[in-house]
Structure 1
Amino acid sequence: MEIKTITQDHFSEVAEIYRQGLATGIATFQNEVPSWEEWDRGHLAFCRIAVSENDKILGWAALTPASGRSVYAGVAEVSIYIAEEERGKGIGTLLLNELIGQSEANGIWTLQSGIFSENKGSIRLHEKCGFRQVGYRERIAKKNGIWKDTVFMERRSKIVGTD
């Protein structure tokens, strides 16, 4: 397995894995796969990573700015998706740990994730990689007309933003 930077050339595979996440109903509030242009605009230019094996993308992770305000430049929201047939094989741990390292190398001091409360696998993955639950947002928004609760998790760097 290798870690690679996501480019437009990989986007059809990234989009398919995202579609698989959408199909679970517990991965995101979104209901449609974005175009490359939308995805590219929405994510930071760094920390766009995928795990591949034999030139096939098995999972991906990327960061979205938490805010447009400059004081929050070191805070980013995590997106992580694993191909359906690859879940439970440690790819999420590999990706999230790599994302943490790359984010710190790029000056990110806090990573955050809002995870549907029923997405126990994602919650466990984040905990395993040093995230802690800092909040629970009850009925924060609707997905397909149904109120959803989210667990709000964060990981504070021990090496960036410590001064």
Structure 2
Amino acid sequence: MPNIRAMTDRDAGAVLDIYQQGIDTGHATFESTVPGWADFDAGKLKAPRLVAEGADGEVVGWAVLSPTSSRCVYGGVAEITIYVASAAQGQGVGRTLLTAMAEASEAEGIWTLVAGIMRENEASIRLHRTCGFELLGYRKRLGKMSYGPMQGQWRDIAWMERRSDVVGVD
């Protein structure tokens, strides 16, 4: 199993490389190019941010959270983003990382994690279900692809949610 640890600025290159691998699939994000580290960093919660390391210490996956709203009532709700390096897929990295992020998010007072996943990304939908997320439905024709094999096509997004059973249960 991979080693899970906190992401640091030293991980920027590996994190952005793995992000590019996801972009290259055409089924991970509407983004067509990897942002610079400052832009990537600016839109994410400061904690938790996790990376998964392979046996050689190389970063093989990462997970971060983004706020869903600036309203205080949504302070315990965050959108999760998780990416696994192409070479590490199917090896339990995603499950280990997503499980660790769920636990780390609860330690930070997060009671609900949401995920938006392109309908065609069946492996990610399965991963999230395995880790306690439920499918709420599909956001139809949410965005039009500007690149890749589905350029010019509207994409449906599976909207998934995991509600903590330890935080926000009062």
TM-score by length of 1: 0.98
Query: Is 1:73 matched with 2:75?
Result: yes
What is the CA–CA distance in structure 2 between the aligned matches of 1:75 and 1:135, rounded to whole Å? 18
Aligned residue number for residue 149 of structure 2: none
Residue in 1 that maps onto 2:162: 155
Amino acid at match of 1:151: A
- Out of 108, 127, 131, the position equivalent to 2:110 is 108
What 5-or-longer segments of structure 1 have no aligned partner? none
Could you tell me the percent identity over the aligned residues? Answer: 47
Q: Which residue of 2 aligns with 1:18?
A: 19
Distance 1:29 1:161 in 2: 32
Q: 2:153 aligns with which of 146, 149, 162?
A: 146
Query: How many residues align structurally?
Result: 163
User: Which amino acid counterpart does residue 32 of structure 2 have in structure 1?
Assistant: N
CA deviations over 1:1-51 (Å, ceiling 9, x no partner): 311211111100000000000000000111111111111111100011001
Report how far residue 70 of structure 1 moved.
0.9
Runs of 4+ in 1 over 4 A off after TM superposition: none
Distance in 1 of aligned mates of 2:22 and 2:12: 15
The CA distance in 1 between the partners of 2:57 and 2:134, in whole Å, is 34
User: Partners of 1:13 and 1:42 in 2: how far apart?
Assistant: 18
Q: Partner of 2:96: helix, strand, or coil?
A: helix
Q: Alpha carbon RMSD of aligned pairs, Å?
A: 0.7
Cα distance in 2, alignment partners of residues 107 and 139 from structure 1: 33
Corresponding residue of 2:44: 43
Deviates more, 1:143-152 or 1:116-125: 143-152
Q: Partner letter of residue 33 of structure 1? A: V
Instruction: Measure, in 1, the Cα distance between the counterparts of 2:74 and 2:32.
Output: 28
